[in-house]
Amino acid sequence: MYHSQSVESYFAHCPGLKIVIPRGPKQAKGLLLAAIRDPDPVLFFEPKVLYRHIFENADGDVPMGDYELPLGQAETIREGTDITL
């Protein structure tokens, strides 16, 4: 994909819009449900690379029930002393 085909940065600079880009299937379900239930406008982008990616760890397990991730909060993957991912 070329940079000209990535419109996420364009919409990220539009006031009043929330942008959601999941990194895996678990986040996709939780963020999609949160985006649907949010009273403000939310754009949900699905990276095409996720369709062909094989998830072999526990992060790929999607809960069967109602599962929602909070919008506007970053997920801490690994804490560090110099940088946090």
pLDDT digits (tens, 9 = 90+) for 10-31: 888 899 999 999 888 888 899 9
Question: 5-9, 13-17, 40-44: which has the minimum mean pLDDT?
Answer: 5-9
DSSP state of 16: T
Q: Residues 46-80: pLDDT tens digits?
A: 887 777 766 655 555 788 889 899 998 888 888 88
Would you state the pLDDT for residue 58?
Answer: 53
Distance CA 25, CA 62 (A): 6
H-assigned helices in 1-85: 8-12, 25-37
Rounded to whole angstroms, the Cα distance separating 60 from 63 reads: 10
Residue 66 burial (10 A CB sphere; 0-12, 13-18, 19+): exposed
DSSP annotation of 29:
H
Q: What is the pTM of this model?
A: 0.77
